[in-house]
Amino acid sequence: MMCRVVRVHPLSRYRLWVEFSDGLTGEVDLSDRLWGPAFEPLKERSFFDRVSIDEFGAIGWPGGASLAPDALYKKLAAEVGVAENAG
């Protein structure tokens, strides 16, 4: 079963605080993922702060830039050292 993002808050330096449907929470650093035309607008702080969650539990921004919840889950689970439940 794939976990969905249920809450997200923008933080400084291209980081997000996220909460997943299984209760996993933490900060994800996106500074290494903001490349390419779709993500270029996110380098502007006011645009980055417009992050939201779509109906599938993915994180996205106006204009179509989005991040799949399974990739974020794997990144966060590895950082906090918990067994992965997604996928």
Which long-range contacts does 77-81 make (Cβ < 8 Å, 24+ apart)?
77/24, 79/26, 79/28, 80/24, 80/26
Share of the chain above pLDDT 90, in %: 70
pLDDT band at 1 (very low <50, low <70, confident <90, very high): low
Q: What is the pLDDT of residues 21-70, one digit of tens each?
A: 999 999 999 998 888 999 999 999 999 999 999 988 999 999 999 999 99
- Measured between alpha carbons, how far is 83 from 51 in angstroms, rounded to an integer? 27
Q: How many CB atoms lie within 10 A of CB 82?
A: 12
Pick the CATH number of 5-80 from 3.40.630.30, 3.20.20.140, 2.60.40.1840, 3.30.2020.10: 3.30.2020.10
**Confidence (pLDDT) at 5:** 97
Predicted TM-score (pTM) of the model is: 0.85
Q: What is the pLDDT of residues 3-22, one digit of tens each?
A: 899 999 999 999 999 999 99
What ranges do the domains of the chain cover? 5-80
